[in-house]
Structure 1
Amino acid sequence: MPSVRIPLRLTPSLSTGSRSRATAARGRWSWLYAPSAQAVEFALRNTIAALLALGIAMWMELDSPIWATMTVWAVAQGTRGESLSKARWRIVGTVIGATAAIGLFTLFPQQPLLFFLTLAIWMGLCAGLATFVSNFRAYALVLSGYTCAIIAMGAVHDPDNVFMIAISRSTYIGLGVVCEAGMGLIFATGQERQARIAVRTKLQTALSLVSASIADILSDAASTQRKARDLFATILRLNSEIEFAEIEMGPHGHEGDHARAALAAVSILLSRGFGMASRLAALAHSHGSFRETSDETQIFLRGLERRLKAQEPVQSILADLHVLIERCRAHAAPFMVPDHEHTPMVGPVDERVLHVALGELLHDLEIAVIEYDASTHLIPGDRFHFRLQTHRDPRNAINNGLRVTASILFTALVWEITAWPNGAGFISITALICGLFATQENPVLGTTSFLKGTVWSIIAGGILTFIFVPKFDTYEMFIMAFGPAMFIGGLARINPATAGAAAAYGLLMPATVNVQNHHRLNEIAFFNGASATLLAACAAVLVFHTFLPFNPQSERHRLRMQMLAELRALCHLRKAPETRRWIGRNIDRFARLIRHAGPSPLPIVENYLQGTLAVMTIGLNVIRLRTLLDRDHLPDTARRPIALLLDRMEYTRDRHDRPARVAAAAVRRLRALDRTEHDLVTRLELIRGISYLVVIRDELTANAAFLDEMHGYTSHRALQELR
């Protein structure tokens, strides 16, 4: 019988697959056996702070010292600015929540139905309002909700001592915050200097990326617009990070305000870049003076990153920028050529329109560079303030509030029916988890990771409770086992893949151990407490997945309708437009679409992103048209078609081909006036008007389906790609 021979060429393939799986496994656990220096510093700092808080709480004979440890991990963040901001708002939320709990017992001491109903409404109100604010201000609001629930459930068996329980809870939190802040100060060396360097680096990154994108747009590089639009999410992230760096720099100046103003200018600059791309596609620019100006501008933009990193004096950068701006201005409104010279009229007008647009783009870059320079040093007597407005979704706030309210009522009903001895803890942990979920834009995404972290916290807590705690009689010996368990959780917090589960682990693992001065948990007490914690996490996940679950399609529809309503409001001539508000809200909306699209956006999401960008570009050019009208340099024959266009755009909800035709007629009218106008200022204003109208005309035509408010937006091309 012939033997069966396995081809040798399969062996390398098998070994390669095994090696790749082994490499992937090593990479998955590299955060544990090969952590970064930042991860070690974070885990060590907060582990020491947590153990210190636990030791002080036990020395003070507090009844639940483990809550001080939980507070340390609750406020622990990757940077000192984030930790200080969260600690500050945690104290504010604790005071509000403790006051609300005392008021709740005062109003309904013997009315369980009204008590739980009011508690659920309070939690829902806090969660809903948290949707309207950003960063840790939202955390303070949800904290005031679940702190009220935790204190109320802790005092439900002893309502006469609710005030002392509230003071006790506030003491734990204050102790944890002080310990975390103290250890942070010890580990923070040169905090202010490092914060200034971080702000400078972030702004340099934003300016460099946007400048390179604008240069690519001017050179007609392929796929430039798609790369450039992803920068909006980066700009919004940098805006949040600057708030925390501002805390680290101290309350001495307004460098953070100037940094936010620089990012806003960069956002406007990027939006002008998209408008520039539309003009380049619509107007002739392959010859003439604009190509020379464009080439010199590209050289300047591509060299900006090198000059900023070399910390070249800003005055020299601005001087070169002024030369380009003046050149654009000179070409935008040239002197009239003699009649005997045969000069094509269409070509020069297109060239001048492009020069106007490029000059305004460079002017925005000048503002961004000036604000960047102001953010790098302290300006004596500076009173500058700047905030970038964000998008607010009332429907999302209502859904968030209703979900949290339903969670509290559901757990209260379970306790009322079962009379479970650990029902109070069940409600408390549910309120805690729901409060944490409510601060997220898409709560469904974080629930699974949090549930995994809860399971790991129970496993680790069980090992500590049953194996290590019975062997130790002193605090010093106990922390030899408790410390490494928290240190591992700290390492996992820095790793992005495990950060969500590690947040639950660091918060809930100490609660499952629940070490105290005068007694230890036995098997029954641990099982009841762990069951309450796990079931609370399951209940929160169940409610958030089934009751008014987050729907990306509905969110996209709401974002689109709000944008279109605000665009029509911009066209109202009796309301003053605000560029800052328009830019801030639409950048936030754009970033939300990107975040919720996931790593592989569907074609319909890509079309929404393109439509959002088009609406933002149209709105900016509408604002510029209104500014043009307010300057009152245009003749009435030029003002009338512009006013007619704005009127049509204000009242048109569908069929945007009609205002597009009005815009095209306005372009023709302003071109005709430019041929006969002799005043240079008026000619420059006419060219500016043509520059804005061209973008509006083309964007209205290209995005008519997205702008149609009377019909749902489903791209035919996207549906075909999905099939």
Structure 2
Amino acid sequence: MSKPSAGAPAALPGLDAVRRAFYEWARTDGTTWIYIAKVLIAAFLTMWLAMRLELPQPSTACVTVFIVMQPQSGQVFAKSFYRLLGTLIGLSVMIVLIALFAQERVLFLLTAAIWIGLCTAGAARYRDFRAYACVLAGYTATLIGVPATTHPETAFMQAIWRVMEISLGIGCATLISAVLLPQTTTAALRNALYVRFGTFVAFMFDSLNLKLDRRAFVAGNVRFASEAVGLEAMRTAGAFEDPHTRLRSRRLARLNSEFMTLTTRFHALHQLRERLRTHGQELLLAKLRPCVEPLEALLVPLSERPLTVPDAERLAQHLGGLRDDLRSRIRSARRELGDVSADTLLDFDSAAELLYRLVDDLYNYAQTHASLGAHHHEREQWEQEFTTKANPLAAAVSGLRAALVILLFGAFWIYSAWPSGGMFALNAVAIMALVSSSPNPPRTAMQMAQGTALAAIFGIFIGLFVLPRIDGFVLLCLVMAPVFALGAFLSTRPRWAGVGPGLLIFFCVGSLPANHTVFDPAGLFNTYIAMLLSMIISAAVIAVVLPPNAPWMWRRLERDLRLRIRYAVSGPMHNLVTGFESGTRDLVVQAYGLAASNPEVQRNLLRWMFLVLEVGHAVIELRRDQADLPHTPAYAADTPWRQANRALGRALVRLFTQPTADNRLRAVCAVQQSIAAAQAAAEPYELHFERAPIRRVLSYLHFIRSSLLDPQSPLPPLPAAPAPLPSPPEPEPRHAA
């Protein structure tokens, strides 16, 4: 065959190539343009209905559309529900305040500031859809209450109109999101669940085969922590849109909890292997290798592959058999160790226990994943809850800051008699509440100020030179469409996430014509000046008055992270595992985002997270094993080894509350004494892998000791000449597996 000449034109792409390119575009940029189209359709439908129904402020309905509209329909439903709930609460409170203080604006502002401060503190506390309800409860109260101070007789009707306008916006947004090319949260949740396990399996293999450096290993753990928090939000949103998701809600929560436990267990095993390798325990690792190989062989086909329900069923069956086989392999490997020291035996027992528990965790995860194929399943019986954590002082500071701002801005409005002073105070409340849960509130506030500046430019031009020259709803839509499309596009870009909402919301507030339209250039200028000034001043206040991303906040969150050990030691048993895992990860995700500009702080926070998870999880396993002990004298609560464990818990709480070198030494001594007491205890059963509660206790105690002695931990160095630690007694012959 002759080759085409160099100057010949390139052949046109075939139909298959065009189809593949279209599908690739549809999965990436196409979703953005679909979202923009849905925003435009929902906004124009809302605006048309609001004008046909002669609602006083169509802009309120359109603002609702822009606020609740999200790429996924489940998020739209969840946000709409909490927006309506927050609106009703805020209106109810404000009507009461107006009735009490209709003739006294000063007392009204004081009580309104207290309410707004409480709502803002609640938003900073929850940081999920409940936070949005808190935001709306404060913002709506101000939106109705501030204008009503001059005309209190209109407050009730304003509240009624407000509810109708918001309900209209919510109805249109949810309808368009669910009907027009829906992108469901349930589908995203299912895809995240299927893909996450394959990604974790690949991460396991790379870690076990030493293919990951320290930075990649840490990044992987941060990603899994963030995914756990994000999946909980998707589970909550998915329950609003899909009855099948509601039927499986508890199983999905259980699956997320089991995945968090699984990642913590593997991290503990990885850390112990690295410590053994650092101390030259290559022989011990070689003896453990035959125990690990069957697990690797079983999981290799699932690496980087979605885990479907049939795959999970087969995996659960294989893992059930592997658990039984692993016991015999561990016993054989322990016998092959021969005559070794007590510390070496503890190293082996700890590693073997973590490996066995890892397989058991995988088995539980596979069972729960497989149960998702049924509408009803016994694994739905799950009472543990994902628990978010927030620093109480930070939430209180956010509330106090918002209360002070509304007092200052309200006082300026009263004494200046500025016609747009109400808008000046109102927008300050809105910005303070909206950015209260942002990772970088000053930056978000400035971005919203930039969006407001764009809204002022477009709004003044359109309001003065375009709207007077058009007639009819179609032309109004054509004029508004470019601004709406630009705002929706900017809101999909993380770099400009604050600019888009600022442009959309405040363009509607300032320039969208009401049913009773008035051409008022002075009022238009005053409105945009008030909005822009309130944005800029609010951003400055957030950046100056105890900003949430300042070092004081990092230190508070780090302390809260360390205090998770107290929860592991003394928290309630009914939600101990999920409460500890979820709260710890939520704190890390918050702190990691706030410290985005300081990599050294981020690294230190991650080091504390790993140590807290390692020690806390071992403490929880100790508590669970001790709670399930048989009722025999050897396991009584007053035995020396049980008393030593309680003393160890107090020493760990003291260490993580005040991480000093002396407290670290005390904790190391306490765990040594616990190990010595447990080794001296008389086990009523023959010691082997299946039945030996004290052997398991020793494994976890030894792991806690290795974590406390790890030179890579963030704990302060031990004193130069520490007191001699008690040596554990040599094991009795029957202690062999």
Query: How would you bin the TM-score normalised by the shorter chain?
Result: 0.7 to 0.9
Query: How far apart are residue 285 of structure 1 and its match?
Result: 5.2
Q: Is 2:503 the partner of 1:510?
A: no
Counterpart code for 2:479 = A
Q: Deviations over 1:149-185 (max 9, x none)?
A: 1101222221112101111111111111111122223
Match of 2:145 among 152, 160, 174: 152
Counterpart in the other structure of 2:480: 482
Q: Is 2:320 the partner of 1:327?
A: no
Query: How far apart are residue 572 of structure 1 and its match?
Result: 4.8
Match of 1:210 among 200, 207, 217: 200
Measured at CA, do residues 103 and 476 of structure 1 come closer, stay the same or move farther in structure 2, by a change above 3 Å? same
Spell out the pairing of 1:215-234 with structure 2 (5 A cutoff). Answer: 215-221=205-211, 222-223=213-214, 225-230=217-222, 231-234=224-227
Query: How far apart are residue 699 of structure 1 and its match?
Result: 1.9
Counterpart in the other structure of 1:75: 68
Q: Distance in 1 between matches of 2:325 and 2:682?
A: 20
Match of 1:360 among 357, 372, 380: 357
Q: Distance in 1 between matches of 2:711 and 2:448?
A: 41
Counterpart in the other structure of 1:645: 648
TM-score (norm. length: structure 1): 0.85
Q: Distance in 1 between matches of 2:425 and 2:42?
A: 28
Q: Which range moved further: 71-80 or 432-441? A: 432-441
Counterpart in the other structure of 1:38: 31
Counterpart code for 1:269 = L
Q: Distance in 1 between matches of 2:331 and 2:646?
A: 24
Spell out the pairing of 1:7-156 with structure 2 (5 A cutoff). Answer: 36-156=29-149
Counterpart in the other structure of 1:24: none
Measured at CA, do residues 641 and 116 of structure 1 come closer, stay the same or move farther in structure 2, by a change above 3 Å? closer
Q: Which range moved further: 632-641 or 42-51? A: 632-641
Spell out the pairing of 1:229-268 with structure 2 (5 A cutoff). Answer: 229-230=221-222, 231-250=224-243, 253-268=246-261
Q: Deviations over 1:392-430 (max 9, x none)?
A: 211011111011111101111211221111111211222
Query: How far apart are residue 336 of structure 1 and its match?
Result: 9.9
Q: Distance in 1 between matches of 2:483 and 2:421?
A: 28
Query: How far apart are residue 618 of structure 1 and its match?
Result: 0.5
Q: Which range moved further: 317-326 or 148-157? A: 317-326
Q: Which range moved further: 658-667 or 574-583? A: 574-583
Q: Number of aligned residue pairs: give it.
A: 670
Counterpart code for 2:102 = P
Q: Is 2:633 the partner of 1:630?
A: no
Q: Distance in 1 between matches of 2:693 and 2:381?
A: 34
Q: Distance in 2 between matches of 1:158 and 1:676?
A: 81
Q: Distance in 2 between matches of 1:188 and 1:101?
A: 39
Contact conserved, 1:50 with 1:72, CA < 8 A, in 2?
Answer: yes
Measured at CA, do residues 703 and 150 of structure 1 come closer, stay the same or move farther in structure 2, by a change above 3 Å? farther
Q: Is 2:713 the partner of 1:697?
A: no
Query: How far apart are residue 314 of structure 1 and its match?
Result: 2.6
Counterpart in the other structure of 1:525: 523
Q: Distance in 1 between matches of 2:524 and 2:231?
A: 44
Q: Distance in 2 between matches of 1:640 and 1:56?
A: 71
Counterpart in the other structure of 1:542: 540
Counterpart code for 1:110 = Q
Measured at CA, do residues 290 and 157 of structure 1 come closer, stay the same or move farther in structure 2, by a change above 3 Å? same
Measured at CA, do residues 120 and 219 of structure 1 come closer, stay the same or move farther in structure 2, by a change above 3 Å? same
Query: How far apart are residue 631 of structure 1 and its match?
Result: 3.0
Query: How far apart are residue 575 of structure 1 and its match?
Result: 7.7
Measured at CA, do residues 228 and 327 of structure 1 come closer, stay the same or move farther in structure 2, by a change above 3 Å? farther
Contact conserved, 2:195 with 2:306, CA < 8 A, in 1?
Answer: no
Counterpart in the other structure of 2:370: 373
> Percent identity over the alignment?
22
Counterpart in the other structure of 2:164: 171
Match of 2:672 among 652, 664, 675: 664
Query: How far apart are residue 268 of structure 1 and its match?
Result: 1.0
Q: Distance in 2 between matches of 1:77 and 1:579?
A: 33
Measured at CA, do residues 641 and 385 of structure 1 come closer, stay the same or move farther in structure 2, by a change above 3 Å? closer
Match of 1:580 among 574, 578, 591: 578
Q: Deviations over 1:55-74 (max 9, x none)?
A: 22222222222211111111
Query: How far apart are residue 251 of structure 1 and its match?
Result: 6.6
Counterpart code for 1:648 = A
Contact conserved, 2:35 with 2:71, CA < 8 A, in 1?
Answer: yes
Q: Deviations over 1:553-598 (max 9, x none)?
A: 2223222333434424543599888111111110111112222232
Q: Is 2:600 the partner of 1:610?
A: no
Measured at CA, do residues 294 and 227 of structure 1 come closer, stay the same or move farther in structure 2, by a change above 3 Å? farther
Q: Distance in 2 between matches of 1:673 and 1:144?
A: 59
Match of 1:271 among 255, 264, 267: 264
Counterpart in the other structure of 1:470: 468
Measured at CA, do residues 571 and 422 of structure 1 come closer, stay the same or move farther in structure 2, by a change above 3 Å? closer
Match of 1:399 among 397, 420, 424: 397
Q: Distance in 1 between matches of 2:237 and 2:573?
A: 35
Query: How far apart are residue 138 of structure 1 and its match?
Result: 0.5
Q: Is 2:562 the partner of 1:564?
A: yes
Q: Deviations over 1:10-56 (max 9, x none)?
A: xxxxxxxxxxxxxxxxxxxxxxxx99221221111121111121122
Contact conserved, 1:80 with 1:188, CA < 8 A, in 2?
Answer: no
Measured at CA, do residues 538 and 390 of structure 1 come closer, stay the same or move farther in structure 2, by a change above 3 Å? same
Q: Distance in 1 between matches of 2:314 and 2:340?
A: 38
5+ unaligned residues in a row in structure 2: which ranges?
1-26, 718-737
Match of 1:301 among 294, 299, 302: 299
Measured at CA, do residues 703 and 102 of structure 1 come closer, stay the same or move farther in structure 2, by a change above 3 Å? farther
Measured at CA, do residues 557 and 708 of structure 1 come closer, stay the same or move farther in structure 2, by a change above 3 Å? farther
Query: How far apart are residue 497 of structure 1 and its match?
Result: 2.2
Q: Distance in 1 between matches of 2:482 and 2:28?
A: 14
Counterpart in the other structure of 2:10: none
Q: Distance in 1 between matches of 2:34 and 2:137?
A: 30
Secondary structure of the corresponding residue to residue 388 of structure 1: coil
Counterpart code for 2:388 = T
Contact conserved, 1:98 with 1:147, CA < 8 A, in 2?
Answer: yes
Q: Deviations over 1:82-118 (max 9, x none)?
A: 1111111111111111111211111111112111111
Secondary structure of the corresponding residue to residue 131 of structure 1: helix
Instruction: Give the alignment's Cα RMSD to 1 decimal.
Output: 3.1
Q: Distance in 1 between matches of 2:157 and 2:683?
A: 83
Contact conserved, 1:142 with 1:435, CA < 8 A, in 2?
Answer: yes
Q: Distance in 2 between matches of 1:668 and 1:437?
A: 53
Counterpart in the other structure of 2:726: none
Q: Distance in 2 between matches of 1:337 and 1:165?
A: 81
Q: Which range moved further: 409-418 or 341-350? A: 341-350
Q: Distance in 2 between matches of 1:349 and 1:303?
A: 33
Measured at CA, do residues 678 and 152 of structure 1 come closer, stay the same or move farther in structure 2, by a change above 3 Å? closer
Contact conserved, 1:657 with 1:701, CA < 8 A, in 2?
Answer: no
Measured at CA, do residues 422 and 245 of structure 1 come closer, stay the same or move farther in structure 2, by a change above 3 Å? same
Q: Distance in 2 between matches of 1:384 and 1:445?
A: 40
